[in-house]
A and B are shown apart, each in its own frame.
Chain A
Amino acid sequence: MSEQIKKFMYLNRRAPYGTIYAWESLEVVLIGAAFDQDVSLAFLDDGVFQLVKGQDTAEVDMKNFSPTYQALGDYDVTKLFVEKESLEERGLTLDDLMPLTYEDEDDDWAEKDSIKVVSRAELADIMEEQDVMFSF
């Protein structure tokens, strides 16, 4: 089998705790990171709520899995596209999201932001370039 690298995109469209989709997506991304593909994540619609900072689930008896997003950079998952229109419709800005970073090995391990806010039109173009889409 050839060692061809494909562009994989994980599409996240659900809020974090009402359903299991968000958590399952994160698990699949981390497992999939072992396969050396060109991985990116898209957060749109209610998916943008997954990255909201300050989540504290102590009073609802559920696991707060939001700190796990911090680990993505260590697994070379460094492209997190967040759709601008979805943020705006929900009264959110980039400042409401967790700061997520990675160390760029091609740039003397400089710390860089993983989250990139893009417009709906830009995200549509990025989606068009993908080989495989995983929907959650």
Chain B
Amino acid sequence: MSTLHTVNKSPFEKSSMDSCLAYAKQGSAVLMYEDGIYGAIKGTAIADKIAAASGVSFYVLGPDLKARGVAEDKVVDGIEIVDYPKFVALAAENDKVQAWV
């Protein structure tokens, strides 16, 4: 059973991203969107946790990065920047979606 985890809250304000990372198993995917995209910025404590998560694929929604002025070169290496159609595809590819609101 593969799961797509979604996070839409800032990791600096809420524990949603931390909890997601603690529960995401190998083979699952994590998509950051809305204020969740702040978790994708290089050089933070959350970035270290993402680097340490093995076997989990990370994605971040490009339009929400742009809205917040986070340039693509600020995104942690290994996190794939995706568009809305890819968001839908990820939801369809995985067996279920678990939202960390």
**Smallest CB gap from A66: residue in B:** B69
Q: Are B68 and A17 in contact (CB under 8 A)?
A: yes
Distance of B72 from chain A, by nearest CB (Å): 11
In the assembled complex, which residues on chain B have CB atoms less than 8 Å from the CB atom of A14? 13
Q: Are B68 and A90 in contact (CB under 8 A)?
A: no
Which secondary structure dominates where chain A touches chain B?
loop
Is B94 at the interface (CB under 8 A from chain A)? no
Chain A interface size, as a band, is: 20 to 34
Q: Which one of A45, A60, A66 lies within 8 Å of B64 (CB-CB)?
A: A60
CA distance A62 to B63 in the complex (A): 11
Within 8 A of A (CB), among B20-76: 34-35, 38, 41-45, 47, 62-64, 66-71, 74
Distance of B100 from chain A, by nearest CB (Å): 14
In the assembled complex, which residues on chain A have CB atoms less than 8 Å from the CB atom of B35? 15, 17-18, 46
Q: Are A91 and B42 in contact (CB under 8 A)?
A: yes
Count of B interface residues, CB-CB < 8 Å: 24
Within 8 A of B (CB), among A30-49: 45-46, 49
CA distance A93 to B13 in the complex (A): 19
In the assembled complex, which residues on chain B have CB atoms less than 8 Å from the CB atom of A15? 10, 13, 35, 38, 68
In the assembled complex, which residues on chain A have CB atoms less than 8 Å from the CB atom of B47? 91
In the assembled complex, which residues on chain A have CB atoms less than 8 Å from the CB atom of B41? 90-92
CA distance A38 to B94 in the complex (A): 55
Is A57 at the interface (CB under 8 A from chain B)? yes
Is A56 at the interface (CB under 8 A from chain B)? yes
Q: Are B67 and A46 in contact (CB under 8 A)?
A: no
Is A64 at the interface (CB under 8 A from chain B)? yes
